[in-house]
Amino acid sequence: MAPIPEPTRPDGTASSPAASLADWLAGRRRAMLSRWRASVRADRSLTTSDTLSRAQFEDHVPAILDGFVERLRALAEPPADPHDPVSRDASAARGADARRSAVEHGVHRWQQGYDQRETIREWRHLQLCLLDEVDAFCAGAPSDPGELAAARRLVAAMCLDGMEASAAQFMDMHRTEAASRLQELQGALAQLADIERQRVAVLREAAHDLRGNVGTLRTVSYVLGRADLPEAARNDAAGALRRGVASLHALLTDLLDLSRLEAGLERRQIEPFDAAQVLRGLCDALQHVATERGLFLRYDGVDTMRVEGDRIKVVRIAQNLVLNALRCTEHGGVRVGCQAGAAETPRWMLTVRDTGPGLPDHAASPLAIAIKDATAEARETVAGAEAGADAPAEDGIARPDASDLLPALSAARDASSGEGLGLTIVKRLCELLDASIELDTAPGQGTAFRITMPAQY
């Protein structure tokens, strides 16, 4: 290497070795970066850098080298006066800038998929390249051993600071990521616990309803066994028995459906169909239920709605909502409709609106409240059937007086199927069909369910 000309200051005096080294390194920055990149590429234990462009690889290192050059020039200046705020602040600013560049370089490396070992090893290669440049400078120019020793210590300090900053940033990011994962896991566990509580509550309600149905059937069977029962009462009891058996069958069917849904055994079968025609046919099929309760049931929607979906499961959703609405409505009736969703999204809406009493409290979980409200009426009717018992006989079956027979039969006549489970099944079916549920209700203003479903899958 040819001797390096000794740099001079503007006044003609010779520059200090530290300042000369700073000028030398500033002129050699591009060569140093190329040499550092070649050194990293030659290291077979480093592979992530091969996927980066030159700009991505160098990242904040040019700014780090510029900061190092400035700190070298500061060696040639008088020591910073701790009592001089300007000198003190300038020195602190240089250190803060160098630290910030090292931190940002570490962040970039973690974002590019580096691990801690790779980043530290790259810093090692950079340190060796800088020391080689210092040695090359010393070999070709007069030098002050003290200042050049300080320059070597500065190289080591800069690289060690960079390693420390990168490692600290790596740990901070890992702690943040771990905290985020922990929060997600805690949220998932809380959600699972809430789902389990809801499931247990639904099963508890179903068990209560099942017990009530069986109790009603026991009461009716005892009534039918009375020899002194009038013919009219016997006919009423026979009708109540048929309805009770139908209600029990429907409840067991709903429990089986719910168990299949929660076990993941149900699969959606997508096919094209006319939703308007299907819903109109459902209203016709359930018209007798509304007539028996003195209510109206009307289809109030578009004439045709061609969609894709699981026709059978859509019918099950609509049927459960309609039956629940008829059960909860005393005056007026139920309207069923469908319409297209927003133009930008291929979705359609199924609506079931009743003129019932509405829900008294529309809280954060409206569907859970609706399920609870749907089961409350069933428990009351079952309790009415059981309330006719005066005293247990030898076999443990209640023996109601003749004056209590008609109220008990009336309660049994009003009992309906699937108490409380229908809305839970609706929720599970909507999840299976990627549909959403909205509930609009207010005391005295009825209840409206809106199910928004994909028109195409």
pLDDT at 416: 40
* CA 81 from centroid of its chain's CA atoms: 57
The candidate with the shortest Cα–Cα distance to 44, out of 118, 124, 110, 126, is 118
pLDDT at 81: 54
Q: Enumerate the domain spans of the chain.
A: 17-184, 225-454
pLDDT at 257: 72
pLDDT at 456: 87
Name the average pLDDT for the chain: 75
pLDDT at 205: 67
Class of domain 225-454: alpha beta
Higher pLDDT, 11 or 124: 124
Does the pLDDT value for residue 374 go beyond 60?
Answer: no
Higher pLDDT, 317 or 361: 317
Does the pLDDT value for residue 365 go beyond 60?
Answer: no
Structure tokens given for 325 = 């609405």
Does the pLDDT value for residue 134 go beyond 70?
Answer: yes
pLDDT at 22: 86
Section 95-117 average pLDDT: 77
Contact 341, 451 (CB under 8 A): no
pLDDT at 408: 36
Query: Do the two domains 17-184 and 225-454 of this chain adopt the same fold?
Result: no
The span from the CA of 73 to the CA of 439, in Å, is 72
pLDDT at 96: 66
Report the first-to-last Cα separation within the chain, whole angstroms.
Answer: 73
Does the pLDDT value for residue 156 go beyond 90?
Answer: no
pLDDT > 90: percent of the chain:
17
The span from the CA of 351 to the CA of 329, in Å, is 16
The span from the CA of 279 to the CA of 285, in Å, is 10
pLDDT > 70: percent of the chain:
72
Give the bridge partners for 272, in sequence order.
308
Could you confirm whether domain 17-184 is CATH 1.10.490? yes
pLDDT at 415: 40
SS (H, E, C) the chain: CCCCCCCECCCCCECCHHHHHHHHHHHCHHHHHHHHHHHHHHCCCCCHHHHCCHHHHHCCHHHHHHHHHHHHHHHCCCCCCCCCHHHHHHHHHHHHHHHHHHHHHHHHHHHCCCCHHHHHHHHHHHHHHHHHHHHHHHHHCCCCHHHHHHHHHHHHHHHHHHHHHHHHHHHHHHHHHHHHHHHHHHHHHHHHHHHHHHHHHHHHHHHHHHHHHHHHHHHHHHHHCCCCCCHHHHHHHHHHHHHHHHHHHHHHHHHHHHHHHHCCCCCCCCEEEEHHHHHHHHHHHCHHHHHHCCCEEEECCCCCCEEEECHHHHHHHHHHHHHHHHHHCCCCEEEEEEEECCCCCCEEEEEEEECCCCCCCCCCCHHHHHHHHHHHHHHHHHHHHHCCCCCECCCCCECCCHHHHHHHHHHHHHCCCCCCHHHHHHHHHHHHCCCEEEEEECCCCCEEEEEEEECCC
Structure tokens given for 133 = 């440049």
pLDDT at 397: 34
Higher pLDDT, 284 or 223: 284
Does the pLDDT value for residue 389 go beyond 90?
Answer: no
Give the model confidence (pLDDT) of 305-337 as tens digits: 999 999 988 998 998 899 889 988 989 999 999
Which range has the top average pLDDT, 194-203, 285-294, 426-435? 285-294
Structure tokens given for 162 = 């960079």
Section 414-437 average pLDDT: 72
Q: How confident is the model at residue 85 (pLDDT cuts 50, 70, 90)?
A: low
Structure tokens given for 158 = 């800069």
Least confident of 36-50, 114-128, 174-188, 233-247: 233-247
Contact 278, 311 (CB under 8 A): yes
Section 207-214 average pLDDT: 71
Residues 299-310 as b/e (b if ≥16 CB within 10 A, e otherwise) read bebeeebebbbb
pLDDT at 361: 54
Section 349-364 average pLDDT: 76
Longest dimension (CA), the chain: 134
Does the pLDDT value for residue 283 go beyond 90?
Answer: yes
The span from the CA of 90 to the CA of 92, in Å, is 5
